[in-house]
Amino acid sequence: MAMAENKDFVLAVQISAQYRGATAISIPLPSAATDNCIDDENTIPSRFVLPPGRRPLSLPNTADVLRVSPEEVPVIDLAAASSYGSTRSIFLRQLYCACANWGIFHVYNHGVPEDLLSDLGLHVQKFLALPVALRGAQKLGNHAQGYGSGFVRLSTGTTEWRDFLRVYTYPLHRRHYEAWPPSPELRKVIERYSDEVRKLQINVLRLMSESLGLSAHRLEEMMGEMQQTILVNHYPPCPRPDLAIGIDTHTDVGAVSCLWQPDDVVGLQVLREGEWHPVSSARGALTIIVADQVQIASNGIFKSPLHRGVLNKDKNRVSILSFYQLNPEQLVSPLEDLISDSSPPMYQPTRFKDHEQAAKGPLSANAS
């Protein structure tokens, strides 16, 4: 059977390879990425300045500017997953449409306790209020855990305006506590949160599988055992948000991502039909993002959307993500159930480590 080419997905991977490398607190928090680099309120160092065609707030007369749309991402109430008959059928259809048309959606009644989210937000803010030297040693390299600062993109030489904390949480043997924050309270709340949100991500993946008309475990079987990473991104205020970027345009390489935005600063944008859509934080909700491996397994039915993080001139922004990654050797291909003469396979079988490397592209020596 001939292999069809999914041009949108190929473009997304190419862009990823090219570009990778509560109420908000308005007092700037310490940042390894940006401290001591601002000369005055209207300038930033050249290493943070994007080329003109890649700037998020380009002027309307820029040839390749993409409009920002006020249309909001879908909202899914997971309580309906426990219903029966036509109500559950409607729910699965809503989920299918959200995954196929957007690839990103908010979820309510997700099962992650509200007090846990409050504790996580509190201890993350305490961590970010520490002097940089007390946050733990910076760990450099593609797969390191710990506290670090923004990537340098070899394609542009541009540094992302952010610092972050990245820890591996599942399976348990991947937890290298020497790279985790020294605060026992923060460690404990990260462990609790990772346990709860992992259950949510697996549940959502099973519901996605059902919405495709498959058995609940079909997508999960293709993905294999979850390899979970928790990432806390901190985007300090930027004097020139029209020139810099918090995190550049990319897709998520794993199966399904879960985002919590603990403040009211809008920074995440998702690209849909040539327009950037701001993704606001929704009180009590978490945000699900379809990632590359589900797009591959669904044979392109579900979309892994391009998204980015833009900056704010006056306020800090924090985002907390849980990534459902795969074993590096896991082989993913379009599910046979979704292949037919009229819907030939759109992707070759690919090991996760090969896809991840192709999507990330090479990083400079000081990337973290």
Q: Which amino acid is present at 259?
A: L
| Helix, strand, coil share (%) of the chain residues, nearest 5 | 30, 20, 50
Answer yes or no: are the C-beta atoms of 292 and 355 closer than 8 Å.
yes
33-68 b/e (C-beta count within 10 Å ≥ 16 → b): bbeeebeeeeebeeebbbeeebbbebeeeeeeeeee
CA nearest to 73, candidates 305, 300, 362: 305
pLDDT on residue 2: 39
Q: What is the pLDDT of residues 22-73, one digit of tens each?
A: 333 334 455 655 655 555 557 899 989 998 878 886 433 333 334 556 578 9
Q: Which amino acid is present at 233?
A: N
pLDDT on residue 321: 98
Answer yes or no: are the C-beta atoms of 157 and 350 closer than 8 Å.
no
Residue 258, strand partner residues = 288, 322
In this structure, the number of other CB atoms found within 10 A of the CB of residue 111 comes to 13
Answer yes or no: are the C-beta atoms of 138 and 179 closer than 8 Å.
no
pLDDT on residue 132: 80
- Here the tokens at position 87 are 């109500």
State the Rg of the chain over Cα. 20
Query: What letter does residue 347 receive in the DSSP assignment?
Result: S
pLDDT on residue 352: 97
- Here the tokens at position 146 are 């710990």
Q: How far is residue 73's CA from residue 50's CA, in Å, rounded to a whole number?
A: 27
| pTM for this entry | 0.86
Bond prior to 171 in cis (omega within 30° of 0): yes
Interacting residues of 134 by C-beta distance below 8 A, sequence separation 6+: 182
CA nearest to 231, candidates 171, 144, 165, 150: 165
pLDDT on residue 221: 97
Taking phi first (over 0 means left), then psi (-120 to 50 degrees means alpha), and beta for anything else, what does residue 299 get? left
Interacting residues of 82 by C-beta distance below 8 A, sequence separation 6+: none
pLDDT on residue 38: 56
pLDDT on residue 360: 66
Q: Which residue ranges in the chain fall short of pLDDT 50?
A: 1-28, 58-66, 140-142, 362-368
Interacting residues of 25 by C-beta distance below 8 A, sequence separation 6+: 125, 263, 315, 316
Q: How far apart are the first and last CA of the chain?
A: 42
- Kindly give the pairing relationship between strand 146-149 and strand 307-309: unpaired
Let me know if domain 7-59+69-360 sits in CATH 3.90.650.10. Answer: no
Residues 197/73/19/330 CA torsion (nearest 10 deg):
40
- Helical H segments across 271-331, by residue range: 292-297
- Helical H segments across the chain, by residue range: 7-19, 85-101, 114-129, 184-211, 218-223, 292-297, 352-360
pLDDT on residue 264: 85
Q: How far is residue 294's CA from residue 222's CA, in Å, rounded to a whole number?
A: 9
pLDDT on residue 69: 61
Angle between helices 184-211 and 114-129 (to 10 degrees): 130
